[in-house]
Amino acid sequence: MSDQLIDVCASSKKFCRDLKTSLAYGVRDIAREMVGSRGTGRSRLRHGEFWAVRDISFEVRRGDCLGLIGPNGSGKSTLLKMINGILKPDIGRISVRGRVSALIELGAGFSPILTGRENIYVNGSVLGMTTTEVDAKLDQIIHYSGIEEFIDMPVRSYSSGMRVRLGFAIAAHVDTDVLLIDEVLAVGDVGFKQRCFNTMANLAKDRAIIFVSHNMANIARIATSVLVMNSGEGIIHTPDVGSAIQQYFEQFPAMAGSRIGEHLVHLRECRVPGAEDDAPTVRYGEALVVELEYAVLGEDEPDVIHLKFFDKGASQVAVSYVRIPSGIAQIDGYRRLRVRVRDFPLSAGRYSIGIIFAEAYNDTVNGKIIAHYVSAITLRVVGSETISNISVQLPADVLLDEEYTEARSPDVRADRTLV
């Protein structure tokens, strides 16, 4: 049997903004299907319609976990409903092999007047389990949920966390080939979430999983590839999870430039001198030099610069800061400052660096933020076998011109220019 369980081929889905018009279009479409002309007019938009999903193609094999990310309204949930068979694509083809289980909203089908035990049978049947299967797995489900002492109480007395626990426990014990998960782990304590991810890692070994989440740390943790969506279209589909997450952040204007104090400091360029690609490389344990060119446009003068390092899951793992010396070089009205982090200690992987310009306060760095560039440059670290980081403060200093021996080529652009 083929390992390819999900095949989405050039699929699109459109909706109408007006309910009355939508109903009229629906009647016409049903009539066309009945006379065998389903494709007529499906490729064009009629008055009031828009593409919720547009020309999406990908495949997911057994053992793969596709992370599906994008801004709200980008078409993620619509795509999941198409894969689950709830909606038909207007254009294209979707093929799903095997048994499908969708975890769209855990506990949504619970009856508040029934007990937790009774709801296991009800919800299990919704997910495709037979009564015999539920009987065989009942004790495992109850134990996994961790709410044994409350299992015979009405669900209306459960907290939201208890409902999620019970809902995930049921879903985790369904024998399925394809698992669709749509942001179901937003509720629950740390211990339960850890158990859920361990379970999902085990399930992913012999299933095809599509996982929708706005938590990039969760995506980075379990996804083997990522599809980034925006306005119904696929922006990028890649096994490079870090690049996809960076692309996701760039869908938000605030993430691509100054988030705070937008016109107070203009960061023209941020680069690693001498680098020749979009993701400069630094070796573990060696010095990292970041060169900034910026202009102060407001009245507030920054005294310190923070460098914040984020891993591919958007978790901050390190921070450095330096005081800005007086009399630094200016070129065409822009100041150039080189910040050096000695003995760079972060483990191998891909990182983004955020830049903060701030005022000093009582000889510390906890003063007013003047400008904040959330993701100014990306960075690759090589040469370390370490697989985890803890958030640390990295000592840094300003590299003076006489200490800077490497000639800078005017053609070098280690990353995108910030304008």
Looking up tokens 């990028």 gives 236
More confident call, 195 vs 270 = 270
Q: Give residue 30's identity as a one-letter amino acid code.
A: I
Domain 256-403: assigned CATH number? 2.70.50.60
Looking up tokens 């958030």 gives 391
More confident call, 363 vs 220 = 220
Ramachandran angles phi, psi of 125, nearest 5°: -65, -35
Collapsing DSSP states into helix, strand and coil, what is residue 393? strand
pLDDT score for 141: 92
Based on the number of CB atoms within 10 Å of its own CB, is 153 exposed (0-12), middle (13-18) or buried (19 or more)?
middle
Collapsing DSSP states into helix, strand and coil, what is residue 145? helix
291: which strand partners? 271, 338
| 164 Cβ neighbours under 8 A, 6+ residues apart | 106, 107, 184, 185, 187, 188, 192
The span from the CA of 112 to the CA of 154, in Å, is 6
CA distances for 366 relative to 68, 136, 258, 341, 360, angstroms? 37, 58, 19, 20, 6
The domain 4-249 is classified under which CATH number: 3.40.605.10, 3.90.650.10, 3.90.550.10, 3.40.50.300? 3.40.50.300
pLDDT tier for residue 213 given thresholds of 50, 70 and 90:
confident
Distance of CA 257 to the CA centre of its chain: 19
Q: Taking 90 as the threshold, does the pLDDT of residue 9 lie above it?
A: yes
Q: What is the mean pLDDT of residues 358-367?
A: 62
Which alpha helices (H) appear in 146-240, and where do they start and end? 160-172, 190-203, 216-222
Segments making up each domain of the chain, as ranges: 4-249, 256-403
Kindly report whether the global pTM for this prediction surpasses the value 0.75: no
If you average pLDDT over every residue of the chain, what do you get? 79
Nearest partner of 354 among 263, 275, 273, 259, judged by Cα: 259
More confident call, 320 vs 215 = 320
pLDDT score for 166: 87
